């Protein structure tokens, strides 16, 4: 699957691009490169990448604006790679639709692992999964589509994975670390702030009253559960 997968690497530092591209190609990925946001926008539109590794601080169109534009077009996965590692920066990045957030300095091997994990969720393989329906919401894993009252609900890769995982295990309480390992797919990502942001975004999209969620419940001191 990965041999024909193209990753767009967007960073204004040539050394960073070189390291990331070298490790991705070593793992069988095709790559595209951009040093600024405007070039990246063109490559997203014309180069058909399957994932974008995106720096926040770019000349021209900045990374946050570019991520918003990518998300407005569809569900192309985005991993942010940036020196801005404050919790507020991470939350903003995730809230506008990034699937993962890696801070500099970084491990190139770990970044490649995260790329693979995000792509596995974006392109699921194996036995067919059933369509789930509850309270007017339909989750179709084959098409990776969600609808609320027959209207499409746009979910990012990780939002869909998290919601489908919880909905497939109704009333089961999962700890934060269990959800990170099961949905994000690697132990290195035990950053539960990422999970909190995704739960908040999902509630805003699927709950009729996000301030008083009926389906995505917090079990204080433990984690979360889905109530159908």
2 close to 119: Cβ distance less than 8 angstroms: yes
Number of domains in the chain: 2
Core vs surface per residue 120-151: b (16+ CB within 10 A) or e: ebbeeeeeeeeebeeeebebbbeebbbeeeee
pLDDT tens digits, 47-106 = 889 999 999 888 888 888 999 899 888 778 999 888 876 667 777 777 777 888 888 888
Quick check: pTM over 0.85?
Answer: no
Is residue 82 left, alpha or beta, with left meaning phi > 0 and alpha meaning psi from -120 to 50? beta
Q: Are residues 19 and 113 in the same domain?
A: yes
**Domain stop point among 86, 103, 122:** 122
Q: Are residues 112 and 9 in the same domain?
A: yes
Q: Identify which of 110, 137, 95 has the alpha carbon closest to the alpha carbon of residue 53.
A: 110
Q: Which domain holds residue 171?
A: 132-226
List the CATH number of the domain containing 35. Answer: 3.40.50.2300
Q: Identify which of 177, 182, 167 has the alpha carbon closest to the alpha carbon of residue 217.
A: 167
Residue 43 lies inside a defined structural domain of this protein? yes
Sign of the CA dihedral with 103 first, then 27, 8, and 4 last: negative
Q: Are residues 64 and 136 in the same domain?
A: no
Cα separation of 141 and 137, whole Å? 13
Q: Are residues 75 and 151 in the same domain?
A: no
Q: Are residues 91 and 15 in the same domain?
A: yes
Say which range, 80-84, 132-136, 195-199, has the weakest mean pLDDT: 80-84
Q: Are residues 113 and 157 in the same domain?
A: no
Residue 127 lies inside a defined structural domain of this protein? no
Residue 33 lies inside a defined structural domain of this protein? yes
List the CATH number of the domain containing 184. Answer: 1.10.10.10
**Domain stop point among 98, 122, 146:** 122
Q: Are residues 117 and 136 in the same domain?
A: no
Q: Identify which of 41, 88, 31, 95 has the alpha carbon closest to the alpha carbon of residue 63.
A: 41
Cα separation of 32 and 44, whole Å? 10
pLDDT tens digits, 136-189 = 899 998 888 899 998 999 988 888 989 999 998 889 998 888 888 778 765 444
198 close to 94: Cβ distance less than 8 angstroms: yes
**In a 3-state reduction of DSSP, which class is residue 171?**
coil
**Domain stop point among 76, 98, 122:** 122
Pairing state between β 51-54 and 78-82: parallel
Cα separation of 112 and 100, whole Å? 12
Q: Are residues 215 and 193 in the same domain?
A: yes
């Amino acid at each position: 699957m990965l041999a024909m997968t193209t990753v767009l690497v967007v960073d204004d530092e040539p050394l960073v691009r070189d390291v990331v591209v070298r490790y991705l190609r070593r793992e069988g990925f095709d790559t595209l490169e951009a040093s600024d946001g405007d070039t990246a926008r063109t490559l997203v539109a014309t180069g058909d990448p399957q994932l974008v590794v995106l720096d926040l601080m770019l000349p021209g169109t900045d990374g946050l604006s570019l991520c918003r534009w990518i998300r407005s077009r569809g569900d192309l996965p985005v991993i942010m790679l940036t020196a801005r590692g404050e919790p507020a920066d991470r939350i903003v990045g995730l809230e506008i639709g990034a699937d993962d957030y890696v801070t500099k300095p970084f491990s190139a091997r770990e970044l490649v692992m995260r790329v693979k994990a995000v792509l596995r969720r974006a392109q699921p393989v194996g036995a067919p999964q059933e369509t789930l329906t509850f309270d007017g919401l339909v989750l179709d894993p084959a098409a990776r589509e969600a609808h609320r009252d027959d209207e499409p609900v746009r979910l990012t890769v990780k939002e869909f994975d998290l919601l489908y995982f919880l909905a497939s295990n109704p009333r089961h309480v999962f700890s934060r670390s269990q959800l990170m390992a099961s949905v994000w797919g690697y132990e290195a990502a035990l950053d539960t702030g990422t999970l909190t942001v995704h739960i908040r975004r999902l509630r805003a999209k699927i709950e009729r009253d996000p301030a008083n969620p009926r389906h995505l419940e917090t079990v204080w001191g433990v984690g979360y559960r889905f109530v159908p």
